[in-house]
Every structure is written in structure tokens, then in C-alpha cells.
Amino acid sequence: MKKSIMIKNASQLVTCSGSRAKQGKAMADLHIIEDGALVVENGVITAVGKSSEVLSRFGQSGIESIDATAKAVLPGFVDSHTHFVFGGYRAEEFSWRLSGDDYMEIMNRGGGIASTVKATREATREELIAFGRKRLDSMLSFGVTTVEGKSGYGLDEETEIKQLEVMEVLDRVHAVDVVKTFLGAHAIPLNFKGRADHYIDYVANTVLPKISHRNLAEFCDVFCEKGVFSIEQSKRLLLKAKDLGFKVKLHADEIFPLGGAELAADLGAISADHLLQASDKGIVKMAEEGVIATLLPGTAFSLREPYARGRYMIDQGCAVALATDLNPGSCFSESVPLVHALATLSMDITIEEAITALTINGAAAVDRADKIGSLDVGKDGDVVILEFPSYKFIPYHTGVSCVEKVIKNGKLVFDKSR
Ligand code: NIG
Ligand code: FE
């Protein structure tokens, strides 16, 4: 028997309609249906429209329905850049940064990412699964139905694989879908100190083929940054990754303007992320090549760095996605509404553009814009119901989740009202 669910009488059905990334001006149009309804059958959306139309087609009886009177309904959010599987915490480091220590300095003296690498190597698989599950529960409460997760806290074959396997388990057992990214080139491990080229050789020639063979990740990412991996090293690794069939992403131009945005465009990367220091030329190239600019304002906020030029990027025709960057160092927050508020209040991105950036453009950043990220017939039934009548409450109720219910593939998986 078909398992169906209807959501009706929504004050706003914010469809974000589309099946590919929205660039530039197109980001402002949310395709809202007032007094809207939708139906999900066997996990897939089969009807979207005015409540009166949908009700006359499906009738009232025999179908489970949720009354969304005075509530806005949106697609499940896609958090397209996180590092949510890790061991240990770095609360001390947060306080060092408050007293003036610099993020890169801390990392260079063996703290930062290196300290999380140590804790992640020591953590058992079960511990990582338990922590990961809690973080996914929290993300779900913010309306996230798909999350991208990166490895990168192993920096050796065994632990990188352990992190990806943990994400594989979590994807299976948790309502939130997990898209896996291999980030073996996240930092230079201590045993390769001063030998970044050798480490790239090891990652490209030893680890990457095993990840590919076991189909443990869909994307390959690299921290392309001054003092970490150069443009040449990043290019070498990502070309090898593409050869092996991975789609590629970059942590680009975060702290120093190295030319990561240009490299992302040259390589046909799916996304380039951070981009605080991206050049005008790099931004135009990304717009031309359709590389998604994934902006992480929670990280700039937490590190007290200048924000990426989101307004300028959209005006140049880029497709911008927004994500949390949840990780134990530079941004320990899974708050989608905080990201939304920072984007609107500090980056001059409009409320509507920010919604697009968290839905259909987030979906495009994980190469799933044909399956998720909008409320269209044929897409997965991933739906968020707010406690309030308008999507404008998301940044307005700053940093606090106003998500009442989350439906994943047509199943109610979170309900704050119960
Ligand atoms: O995206 N910039 C590099 N990587 C992460 C931070 C990782 C960490 O500090 O643990 C980021 O911000
Ligand atoms: Fe990151």
C-alpha cells in the first residue's frame, strides 16, 4: 500500500522551485504559493499547489494530513559543508583566540586541527558514531535533512577510512542523509612536517585509490591555503581525484588570496568554499563556470575575520550556497538560523537569497539539485514546517530554531510540538 502524507493550508509554501543551482538575480525568487499544500507518496512529492486544488484532487479521506495553518513550509535545508565527525573538543583554543592568538599560529604550533587529529585517531568507531548521531539530531532540529560531512581528522589511511565508514553508518541509521567527502589533504601531519609534496603523493597515490575502490566518498576536497597546500599541490591532488571519478571541492582563499577561486573554475569544481579573500577575477570565473560559492559566515564570525563578499558574488552572477562549517575549531555551531542572520545582517545577502542558498543551491553544492532542495513534484519529500507564518522569521528569531516539524522522505522525523 502507498504511504502518503499531505501538508495543507500553509500560509506560505516556499517551494524554491528548480532543479539546478540558481545564479545571481535568480536567487531572489522563492516561488512562494500562498495557502499552499503538497502531497508526498512513497517518499516522493507528487503534488504541489494551492490547498484548494490539492484537496480537490486528493480529497480529505484516507490520507494522513498535517494542518499548517499560519505556518510557513520550506524544503529541508541542505548543510553543504561540515566536519561533523570528530573526536575531542577545543574550548581552550576558543579562549586562546579571544586573548589574541591567531588560528593559523595555533595550528602551526601543533594545536588546532592537529589536536583534533590526535583525538580522532584515539576515538573508537562507536564513540565517533555516538557523537556524530547527537550532532545529526541537533542539525535535524534546525531543519537540516541532508548534510555533507568531511573526513580530514585522520591524516592517515586508517583514520580517514574510519571517519568515512562512520559517516556511512550514520547515513544508514539516521534520518538525515549524509554526503561523504574525502578531505585527506586537510593539514600536513606531524610525520610529514616540511614535506607537503610527499604528503600529497601519499594521499593521491596510496589513500585516494583505496577510498575510490571502496566507494567511500563522492567528493574530494583540499585545504588550499598559504602554509598548508599550495595551488600546485591542490591541483595535482584534485586532478588525480577527478581521474578516479571523484567530484571536487576546495577550501579556497580563506585566509590568504592564493587564487583558489580561479583554480576551482579551471578544474570545473562543484564548489569552492570560504572565499573570504577571493579575487574579483576568481569570482567572475566561478560565475562563468557555474562553480558554487559556498559561504560560511559562522566561521568568519567565530574567527573574527572579514566576511566573504556575498553581495558582490551574487551581483557578479555567482550561485551562492550557505553552510555552517560545523567543526570543533573554527566554528562549533550547527545553527542554520545563525548562518542566515549573519548572511543577511553582515553580508548584505537578502532573506530570500539566503533561503535559496540553504536549499536548492545547497543541494547543487552536493550535486543533488535534481533530487532535493525544492518542493517540486518528483523530488524527495524532505519538508520543514516552521512555527511561524513567514520564512522571514528564520533570521529575525536570530540564532534560534523556529522549526516545528521535519519530514524526511515523507516521514515525520522531528516534532517540537509533541
Ligand atoms: O573549514 N579551514 C580549514 N578547515 C576547517 C576548520 C577545521 C578545524 O579548525 O578543525 C574549516 O574552517
Ligand atoms: Fe571546512
| Nearest C-alpha neighbor of 44 from the set 407, 415, 413, 360 | 407
- Residue 123's Cβ-side half-sphere holds a number of Cα atoms within 13 Å equal to 26
Q: Look at residue 257 and give its three-state secondary structure.
A: coil
153 CB near ligand 1 (under 6 Å): no
Q: What is the C-alpha to C-alpha distance for residues 44 and 41, in angstroms, rounded to an integer?
A: 5
Residue 118 burial (10 A CB sphere; 0-12, 13-18, 19+): middle
| Nearest C-alpha neighbor of 124 from the set 165, 185, 172, 68 | 165
Enter the pTM of the model. 0.98
pLDDT value at position 309?
Answer: 98
248 beta partners: 220
pLDDT value at position 62?
Answer: 77
pLDDT value at position 11?
Answer: 98
329 CB near ligand 1 (under 6 Å): yes
* 88 torsion bin: left (phi>0), alpha (psi -120 to 50), beta (else): left
251 CB near ligand 1 (under 6 Å): yes
Ligand 2: centre distance to CA 243 (Å): 24
330 CB near ligand 1 (under 6 Å): yes
Atom of ligand 1 nearest to the CA of 329: 9
pLDDT value at position 216?
Answer: 98
How far is CA 371 from each of CA 45, 150, 306, 380, 407, rounded to the nearest angstrom? 10, 21, 34, 6, 15
Which residues of the chain register pLDDT less than 50? none
Atom of ligand 1 nearest to the CA of 328: 10
The pick from 153, 163, 186 for probing ligand 1's pocket by mutation, whose C-beta has the most ligand atoms within 8 angstroms, reads: 186
136-178, pLDDT tens digit by residue?
Answer: 999 999 999 999 999 999 999 999 999 999 999 999 999 999 9
Calculated CA dihedral for residues 353, 355, 357, 361, nearest 10 degrees: -110
Atom of ligand 1 nearest to the CA of 86: 10
pLDDT value at position 59?
Answer: 79
113 CB near ligand 1 (under 6 Å): yes
For the chain, where do the domains classified as CATH 2.30.40.10 start and end? 5-76+371-415
For the chain, where do the domains classified as CATH 3.20.20.140 start and end? 78-365
Ligand 2: centre distance to CA 253 (Å): 12
Ligand 2: centre distance to CA 82 (Å): 6
pLDDT value at position 61?
Answer: 67
CATH code of the domain made up of 78-365: 3.20.20.140
Contact residues for 330 (Cβ-Cβ < 8 A; gap 6+): 103, 299, 302, 303
97 CB near ligand 1 (under 6 Å): no
Which amino acid is it at 22?
K
CATH superfamily of 5-76+371-415: Urease, subunit C, domain 1 (2.30.40.10)
What is the residue-wise DSSP string for 373-397? SS--TTSB--EEEESSSSTTHHHHS
For residue 317, count other CB atoms closer than 10 A to its CB: 16
106-147, pLDDT tens digit by residue?
Answer: 988 888 999 999 999 999 999 999 999 999 999 999 999 999
The three cell numbers of residue 150 are: 568531511
